[in-house]
Amino acid sequence: MQLVLRIIRTSIGKKLLMAFTGLCFCCFLVIHLAGNLSVYGGADTFNSYVNHLHSLGVLVHIAELALLVLAIVHIVTGTVLFIENLRARPVRYSVTRRSGGRTWGSATMPYTGFLILVFLVCHISWFIYAGREYQTVYQILTGLFSNPVVILLYCAAVLVVALHISHGFWSLFQTFGLNHNAYMPAIRALGIIFAVIVAMGFGTIPLYLGL
């Protein structure tokens, strides 16, 4: 335990925590997206997916708990890093320029992260309080996405997630020390492709249901 605390206190230790939890969320997004895409099979296919998922019973709760722990670690560590990094430069520059390293994704990581948290709270609470007793999840979805404002906000949130991934994906490889001149360009490209897939995959569902 002492060893773990000692590692977490270091800057690379915190970075590894961010990378590991980020990797878990990338895997979660793949599974979540694969499930959600069953919406294109129609109401029955989607409801059957939802029922199958819920029939896993205790396994679902274990997964939820694991995701919650991962989220708390990611958010707390990210917040600590954000504050520490602000404090590392008490006097700011009057002129700042980018030299080609920083991207929109990397520059906005703490902010997109916070927006994703806000989105997650809305997203989860909506399904808890939607009233699943008297309507199917498919009906909840179509009801929700009949409102253009909701579609717009959802798509915006998905784009924010994609922006977060565009830096986070390759960055976690670098953090784990998996950087090699031969395959790093491919990892960076894969990160962008993954971000686009997430944006397209999740982003088209409300458009398909609502329009």
Partner 1 sequence: MKSINLTLKVWRQERGSDKGRFETYDATGISTDMSFLEMLDVVNERLTLEGKEPIAFDHDCREGICGMCGAMVNGYAHGHESGTTLCQLHMRHFSDGDTIVIEPWRSRAFKVVKDLVVDRSAFDKIIQEGGYISVNTGGAPDGNTIPVPQDVAEKAMDAASCIGCGACVAACPNGSAMLFVGAKISQFALLPQGRPEAKDRVLAMLNMHDELGFGNCSNERECEARCPKNISIVNIARMNREFIKAALLSE
- Contact between 81 and partner 1 (CB under 8 A)? yes
Residue 173: CB atoms within 10 A of its CB come to 19
Cβ closer to partner 1: 68 or 107?
A: 107
Q: What is the identity of the amino acid at 61?
A: H
Whole-angstrom distance, CA of residue 82 vs CA of residue 112: 12
Whether the CB-CB separation of 181 and 130 falls below 8 Å is answered with no
| 3-class state of residue 93 by DSSP | coil
Q: Out of 164, 175, 191, 199, point to the residue binding partner 1 (CB under 8 A).
A: 175
Whether the CB-CB separation of 106 and 171 falls below 8 Å is answered with yes
Q: What are phi and psi of 210, to 5 degrees?
A: -90, -25
Whether the CB-CB separation of 127 and 36 falls below 8 Å is answered with no
Q: Out of 42, 143, 177, 185, point to the residue binding partner 1 (CB under 8 A).
A: 177
Site for partner 1 in 85-104 (CB under 8 A): 85, 87-102
Q: Which stretch binds partner 1 (CB under 8 A): 37-45, 77-85, 150-158, 193-201?
A: 77-85
Q: Out of 41, 122, 179, 186, point to the residue binding partner 1 (CB under 8 A).
A: 179
Q: Out of 31, 62, 122, 178, point to the residue binding partner 1 (CB under 8 A).
A: 178
* Residue ranges that bind partner 1, judged by CB under 8 A: 3, 6-7, 9-16, 81, 84-85, 87-102, 106-107, 109, 167, 170-171, 174-181
